Amino acid sequence: MYGRYQTLNIPHAFEMSSNDVVIRRDGERLIIEPFKKRSLLKLLATLEDEDLPNVDEGLTFIAIEVTLEDDKQTRIVLDQ
């Protein structure tokens, strides 16, 4: 044991396909598995859809008039 870490030499016959692994405990067993990298899109595709409320409901339109340096006015409309 080195400091607060324990080391484990893994025999060549059990060599992992990746240098990145996931270690988890299952009762008294320690399970070491290769870490499978997934793209963000694939990960997001596994999530279930959520029914979120319409946060824009009840908002009003806002109009702002801005005078630019060349004295031209521009109207900016912020809406839903």
List Cα–Cα distances, 79 to 8, 21, 52, 55, in angstroms. 61, 49, 20, 13
Is 29 part of a structural domain of the chain?
yes
Is 10 part of a structural domain of the chain?
yes
Query: What was the pLDDT predicted at 80?
Result: 45
What would the mean pLDDT of 29-48 be, rounded to a whole number?
89
Is 42 part of a structural domain of the chain?
no
Number of domains in the chain: 1
Is 23 part of a structural domain of the chain?
yes
Model confidence at 5: pLDDT above 80: yes
What would the mean pLDDT of 57-76 be, rounded to a whole number?
72
Is 30 part of a structural domain of the chain?
yes
Query: What was the pLDDT predicted at 28?
Result: 95
Residue 27's domain comprises 1-37
Model confidence at 17: pLDDT above 90: no
Query: What was the pLDDT predicted at 69?
Result: 72
Residue 5 per-residue DSSP state: B
